[in-house]
């Protein structure tokens, strides 16, 4: 037992006011987390920590697992912002394969550089994929199979299909991914949610092609789709805020967000030129009108026990890396979920969804010491997530202000990342467009 005085070397005790383990309904008082070599060595009563053990005390704070954002498109300068917001793990869901694998390795070797990264590589599309730099197009089944095999051989964590994948290619993609033991997710458009579920897709992004979610529907209609999805084990990743931000792209509440001072000027320029800031107001209004329906569907999914993952689609307009996950969880609470249910989505549930439950997502002996000290108690008030005091990535203490300074340190450099190239092309009107089905 670590309390043996002869075995204290290298241990450090973290003593918060409250501790939430990522799964329980409530936070507990009077506990300490003992960390050694970047991992959680033990969880003990605070009074049992020897006076000779180095300690960090966090009065008035709740210690929670590091947050996980399960839908991002990563860029290098986002790393410190994710960490400053307590997001210690992300899943990148569409990026140049070589580039994102290099980022994954770099962050693995330097905990202060950014969150640990899980990745899908390219978003694998059909013949008319609209995003250059992060999407790979496929004219037929053989080319899609070859891409999936390449991704598996290169060591991606999961596989993602994109919007123009038709039903026949969806079948091929799911079968090929599963043949290699890979979880597969998709942004749907040409294939309905019902058909994707029947074909064995593991996860649906954005409520795409969950058509009843986008309109005024009865509980019976909701339940028919949810029962089918749940019966086939399909996970839902709503990314509510991406739709909210498109609908409210001109609202001054976002233009005056004090957190923008941490954002790279190049990305702010992209947001300023975003099409939804200049479009016909009716195009924005359709998103504003649909948000109550999406929240209704989210709540019904939760009530019926469907698995809800939490993602943001960072860096789309007004989605601040890391902090956008706080906003996403606030949307879940606004929809009717309890704060603890929203927090589970971004910790223990997300860890299971992206395949790292044995490493992160909970405060449990043996797991990585990815932890966040938050002033207040976000289980009582989800807004307290914004009060980040200290973040621990593999046991390394990182102060929020220092991380924000590191984010501002990128301002003199051109942003690095294929998603920035893609968004620059998008706002310049150089990208082909298609109208999506079932809302967006």
Question: Does a structural domain hold residue 372?
Answer: no
3-class state of residue 205 by DSSP: strand
Shortest CA distance to 67 belongs to which of 378, 294, 304?
378
Least Cα distance to 13 among 389, 348, 369, 347 occurs for 369
Span 376-400, average pLDDT:
97
Q: Is residue 3 part of a domain?
A: no
Sign for the CA dihedral angle at 177, 183, 187, 192 comes to: positive
Contact 381, 342 (CB under 8 A): no
In the Cβ-directed half-sphere of 141, how many Cα atoms lie within 13 Å?
9
Q: Is the pLDDT of residue 21 over 70?
A: yes
Beta bridge partner(s), residue 236: 204, 308
Task: Indicate the number of domains in the chain.
Answer: 1
Q: Which of 210-214, 345-349, 417-421, 428-432 has the lowest mean pLDDT?
A: 428-432
**Does 89 reside within a domain?**
yes
Arithmetic mean of pLDDT, 409-416: 96
Q: Please determine, for residue 282, whether its predicted confidence score (pLDDT) is greater than 70.
A: yes
- Per-residue pLDDT for 58 more than 70? yes
Contact indicator for 12, 369 with CB cutoff of 8 Å: no
Quote the tokens at residue 127: 């013949």
Residue 196 CA to residue 189 CA, distance in Å, equals 10
* Cβ-contact 164, 127 below 8 angstroms: yes
**Which contiguous run of DSSP H or E holds residue 242?**
helix 240-247
Find how far residue 269's CA is from the centre of its chain: 24
How does pLDDT run across 69-126, given as a tens digit for each residue?
A: 999 999 999 999 999 999 999 999 999 999 999 999 999 999 999 999 999 999 999 9
Least confident stretch, 117-121, 139-143, 432-436: 432-436
C-alpha–C-alpha distance, residues 18 and 201, integer Å: 39
* Beta bridge partners of residue 67, listed in sequence order: 87
Peptide bond preceding 55: is omega within 30 degrees of 0, i.e. cis? no
- Taking 50 as the threshold, does the pLDDT of residue 6 lie above it? no
| Residue 298 lies inside a defined structural domain of this protein | yes
Is 171 domain-assigned? yes
Name the E strands within 269-383: 371-375
The verdict on residue 303 lying in a domain is yes
Contact at 8 Å (CB) between 362 and 351?
Answer: yes
Any domain includes 43: no
Contacts of 322 (CB under 8 A, 6+ apart): 69, 78, 81, 82, 83, 84, 85, 86, 87, 314
- At 437 the pLDDT is 57
Residues listed for the chain: 440
pTM above 0.95, yes or no: yes
Report d(CA 214, CA 16) in Å as an integer: 42
For residue 392, tell me if it sits in a domain. no
**CATH number of the domain residue 294 falls in:** 3.20.20.140
Domain limits for position 306: 66-360+416-427
Mean pLDDT score of the chain: 95
Copy the structure tokens of residue 437: 């089905």
């Amino acid at each position: 037992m670590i309390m043996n005085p002869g075995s204290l070397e290298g241990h450090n005790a973290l003593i918060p006011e409250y501790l939430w383990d990522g799964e329980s309904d409530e936070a507990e008082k009077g506990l300490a987390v003992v960390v050694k070599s970047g991992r959680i060595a033990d969880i003990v009563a605070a009074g049992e920590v020897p006076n000779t053990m180095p300690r960090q005390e966090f009065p008035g704070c709740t210690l929670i697992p590091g947050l996980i954002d399960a839908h991002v498109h990563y860029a290098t300068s986002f790393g410190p912002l994710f960490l400053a917001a307590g997001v210690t793990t992300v899943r990148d869901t569409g990026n140049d394969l070589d580039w994102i694998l290099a980022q994954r390795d770099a962050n693995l070797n330097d905990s202060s550089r950014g969150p640990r990264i899980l990745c899908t590589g390219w978003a694998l599309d059909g013949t008319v994929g609209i995003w250059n730099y992060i999407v790979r197009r496929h004219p037929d089944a053989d080319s899609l199979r070859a891409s999936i095999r390449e991704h598996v051989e290169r060591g991606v964590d999961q596989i993602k299909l994109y919007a123009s994948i038709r039903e026949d290619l969806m079948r091929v993609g799911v079968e090929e991914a599963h043949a290699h033991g890979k979880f597969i997710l998709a942004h749907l458009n040409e294939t309905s949610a019902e058909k994707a579920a029947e074909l064995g897709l593991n996860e649906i992004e954005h409520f795409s092609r969950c058509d009843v979610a986008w309109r005024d529907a009865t509980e019976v209609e909701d339940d028919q789709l949810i029962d089918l999805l749940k019966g086939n084990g399909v996970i839902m990743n709503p990314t509510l805020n991406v739709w909210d931000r498109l609908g409210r792209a001109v609202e001054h509440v976002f233009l005056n967000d004090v957190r923008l001072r941490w954002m790279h000027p190049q990305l702010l320029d992209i947001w300023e030129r975003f099409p939804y800031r200049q479009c016909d107001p009716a195009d924005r209004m359709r998103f504003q009108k649909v948000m109550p329906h999406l929240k209704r569907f989210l709540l019904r999914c939760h009530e019926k026990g469907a698995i809800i993952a939490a993602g943001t689609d960072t860096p789309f307009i007004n989605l601040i890396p890391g902090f956008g996950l706080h906003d996403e969880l606030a949307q879940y609470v606004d929809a009717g979920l309890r704060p603890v249910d929203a927090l589970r989505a971004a910790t223990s549930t997300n860890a299971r969804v992206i395949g790292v439950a044995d490493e992160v997502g909970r405060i449990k002996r043996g797991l990585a010491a990815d932890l966040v000290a938050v002033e207040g108690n976000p289980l009582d008030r989800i807004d307290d997530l914004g009060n980040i005091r200290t973040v621990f990535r593999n046991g390394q203490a990182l102060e929020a202000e220092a991380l924000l300074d590191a984010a501002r340190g990128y301002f003199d450099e051109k942003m690095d990342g294929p998603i920035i190239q893609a968004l620059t092309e998008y706002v310049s009107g150089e990208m082909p467009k298609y109208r999506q089905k079932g809302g967006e």
